[in-house]
């Protein structure tokens, strides 16, 4: 099988898993082994969270369960449906917005769902899989379709699978799939002393 790799070009050496995580839109039709699916959610489970509240939830469906697969797809905006339908696994992440222990708002609920998703993404990379997260979802539709209770919010969509052949995508998406991966320099977001003052700690020619 063709393996699609798009390692990050980094300013400093980082772990291979981080370099090799990326967000494909072309997925191989090969199903994901159940033990690998269990492993990626186990990785999510071990994310850190404020008060160890673990405010993350996932609604997941595999393509061999066409009814539930379609229900998750229906919660994505049309653009995302267009390519995510080619993934063997789709999911929605959901945040519990209040702490269980005192009912107070959890200001870090989305943050912690993001941490769980990052864990999931790295475990996926470790297993030869990749995920593609999506802000383009229809949260109220997800609430209706899946009965997501009040106090919980759908956060993001997730497509998961083995990366596939970029040629399977329409022209515009294929170009984006193969374009160089880009990031702002580290000095543009790490400051010391004052907002906006690039930290000498991350200066490139130290
Ligand atoms: C929270 C979140 C929401 C995103 N939403 C979308 C989306 O709706 N549609 C899409 O095609 N890509 C989406 N992406 C993918 C980003 O565009 C992608 O992560 C970014 O371009 C960096 O590329 P990389 O993940 O390959 O490094 C999203 C990513 C994240 C983390």
Rounded Cα distance between 81 and 68, Å, is: 14
5 confidence band (pLDDT: 50, 70, 90): confident
Atom of ligand 1 minimally distant from the CA of 137 = 8
* Protein residue with its CA nearest to atom 9 in ligand 1: 134
pLDDT range class, residue 206, cuts 50, 70, 90: low
State which ligand 1 atom lies nearest to the alpha carbon of 23: 26
Burial pattern 113-151, b for ≥16 Cβ within 10 A else e, equals bbbbbbbbbbbbbbbebbbbbbeebbeeebbebbebeee
> With contact defined as beta carbons under 8 Å apart, do 29 and 87 qualify?
no
Q: What are phi and psi of 153, to 5 degrees?
A: -130, 135
C-beta of 81 in contact with ligand 1 (< 6 A): no
- 22-56 pLDDT, tens digit per residue, is 999 999 999 999 999 999 999 999 999 999 999 99
Is the CB of residue 23 below 6 angstroms from any atom belonging to ligand 1?
A: yes
The CB of 93 under 6 Å from ligand 1? The reply is no
Give, for ligand 1, the residue of 87, 117, 135 to mutate: max count of ligand atoms closer than 8 Å to Cβ. 135
- pTM of this structure: 0.97
Q: If you average pLDDT over residues 179-198, what whole number do you get?
A: 96
User: What separation in Å is there between the alpha carbon of 206 and the centre of ligand 1?
Assistant: 32
* pLDDT at residue 17 greater than cutoff 90: yes
Give the integer Cα–Cα distance in Å for 103 and 177: 43
pLDDT for res 20 = 97
Question: Does the pLDDT of residue 12 top 80, yes or no?
Answer: yes
């Amino acid at each position: 099988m063709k393996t699609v790799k798009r390692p990050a070009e980094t300013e400093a050496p980082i772990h291979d898993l981080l370099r090799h995580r990326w967000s494909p839109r072309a997925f191989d039709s090969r199903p994901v082994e159940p033990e690998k699916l269990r492993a990626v959610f186990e990785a999510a489970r071990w994310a850190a969270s404020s008060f160890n509240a673990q405010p993350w939830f996932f609604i997941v469906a595999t393509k061999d369960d066409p009814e539930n697969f379609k229900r998750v797809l229906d919660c994505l905006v049309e653009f995302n449906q267009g390519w995510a339908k080619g993934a063997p696994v789709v999911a929605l992440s959901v945040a519990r917005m209040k702490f269980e222990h005192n009912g107070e708002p959890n200001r870090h609920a989305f943050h912690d769902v993001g941490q769980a998703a990052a864990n999931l993404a790295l475990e996926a990379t470790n297993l030869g899989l990749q995920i593609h997260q999506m802000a383009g979802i229809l949260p109220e539709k997800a609430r209706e379709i899946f009965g997501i209770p009040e106090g919980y919010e759908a956060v993001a969509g997730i497509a998961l699978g083995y990366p596939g052949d970029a040629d399977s995508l329409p022209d515009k998406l294929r170009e984006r799939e193969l374009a160089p991966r880009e990031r702002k320099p580290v000095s543009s977001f790490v400051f010391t002393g004052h907002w906006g003052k690039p930290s000498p700690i991350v200066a490139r020619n130290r």
